């Protein structure tokens, strides 16, 4: 974690916020789920102690959800409360389509008690427009990603123009809702200057408060585009993972955009994964 904290400091000094993720998912042992929860508590303490501009991100299955839903919820409550006490945000990542319902149910339960819990939605799922309308009822930030998990055709769109257009439509709905949001993608089709200009123009035309909007990208991917949005005056955030399960980081980045694999391997070596 020490290297991760130092990297976070450096990014903060460059004007970027970060979100720190102790990587892992699908934990099958309760003791390991408790250990992961404790590590996240250590991250929260480190963020507070170092006064970092950072949130935490996590997979609910890393802290026990697939062992027992109540265990995952209990551990999530522990982390949400600790983060809230330090004035920090906790972002819940999305996982495979078979876990979407449970993740959204736990998110809803958390939002009944905490106002610092955000959720991630995946644009490639057919269900996401309806899910977006439901989660807009809660106060936490909504992070919109394209989606990197394998899913059958009856649940998800294939990559290409149709998915790109779905992402843009969801992004427009999210931006015009004026709900706190994070636009998070690394796909070149959605990060070209025309798309960035479109988002910027929409925000300007609709007079949307920029303090509710942020743009987020993985460390090392298209950093010049994140810098461009920062230059426009928007909040920008870098997703910063660490931990032994570095293969998840590589696989997710490869699924998002295959050329990412080269930068991902470089980052893995620099960050000491393994």
Point out which residues pair with 266 in neighbouring strands.
none
Output the pLDDT for position 246. Answer: 57
Residue 46, Cβ neighbours under 10 Å: how many?
A: 17
Query: What are 166's two structure tokens?
Result: 């779905």
Q: pLDDT digits over 10-67, tens only?
A: 999 999 999 999 999 899 999 999 999 999 999 999 999 999 999 999 999 999 999 9
Output the pLDDT for position 268. Answer: 44
What's the rounded Cα separation, in Å, for the pair 274 and 271? Answer: 9
Among candidates 23, 84, 102, which has minimal Cα distance to 59?
Answer: 23
* Cβ-contact 127, 169 below 8 angstroms: no
Residues in the chain, pLDDT under 50:
260-262, 264-274
Does the pTM surpass 0.95? The reply is no
* CB-based contacts of 129, cutoff 8 Å, min separation 6: 169, 170, 173
Residue 239, Cβ neighbours under 10 Å: how many?
A: 23
Query: What are 212's two structure tokens?
Result: 């509710």
- Please classify residue 173 by burial: count the beta carbons closer than 10 Å to its beta carbon, then call 0-12 exposed, 13-18 middle and 19+ buried: middle
Point out which residues pair with 54 in neighbouring strands.
18
Longest dimension (CA), the chain: 52
Domains of the chain, CATH where assigned: 2-271 (3.20.20.220)
DSSP 257: -
Q: HSE-up of 213 (CA within 13 Å, CB side)?
A: 23
Output the pLDDT for position 74. Answer: 98
DSSP 114: -
What's the rounded Cα separation, in Å, for the pair 228 and 78? Answer: 37
Output the pLDDT for position 223. Answer: 76
Helix axes 260-271, 246-256, angle to 10 degrees: 160
Q: Which residue has the tokens 């994964």?
A: 273
* Distances 116 to 79, 81, 112, 186 between C-alpha atoms, Å: 11, 9, 11, 25
What's the rounded Cα separation, in Å, for the pair 36 and 39? Answer: 5
What's the rounded Cα separation, in Å, for the pair 172 and 60? Answer: 28
């Amino acid at each position: 974690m020490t290297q991760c904290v130092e990297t976070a400091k450096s990014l903060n000094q460059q004007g970027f916020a970060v979100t720190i993720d102790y990587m892992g998912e699908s934990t099958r042992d309760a003791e390991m789920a408790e250990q992961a929860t404790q590590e996240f508590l250590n991250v929260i303490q480190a963020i507070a102690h170092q006064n970092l501009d950072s949130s935490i991100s996590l997979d609910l299955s890393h802290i026990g959800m697939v062992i027992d839903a109540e265990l995952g919820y209990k551990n999530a409550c522990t982390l949400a409360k600790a983060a809230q006490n330090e004035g920090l945000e906790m972002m819940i990542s999305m996982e495979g389509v078979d876990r979407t319902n449970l993740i959204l149910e736990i998110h809803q339960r958390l939002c009944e008690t905490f106002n610092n819990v955000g959720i991630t939605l995946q644009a490639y799922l057919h269900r996401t427009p309806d899910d977006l309308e439901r989660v807009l009822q809660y106060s936490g930030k909504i992070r919109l990603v394209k989606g990197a998990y394998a899913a059958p055709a009856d649940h998800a769109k294939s990559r290409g123009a149709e998915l790109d257009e779905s992402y843009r439509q969801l992004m427009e709905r999210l931006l015009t809702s004026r709900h706190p949001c994070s636009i998070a993608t690394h796909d070149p089709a959605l990060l070209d200057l025309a798309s960035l200009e479109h988002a910027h123009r929409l925000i300007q035309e609709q007079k949307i408060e920029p303090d509710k909007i942020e743009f987020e990208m993985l460390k090392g991917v298209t950093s010049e585009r994140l810098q461009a949005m920062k230059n426009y005056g928007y909040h920008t955030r870098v997703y910063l993972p660490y931990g032994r399960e570095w293969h998840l980081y590589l696989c997710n980045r490869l699924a998002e955009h295959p050329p990412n694999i080269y930068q991902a391997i470089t980052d893995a070596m620099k960050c000491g994964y393994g």
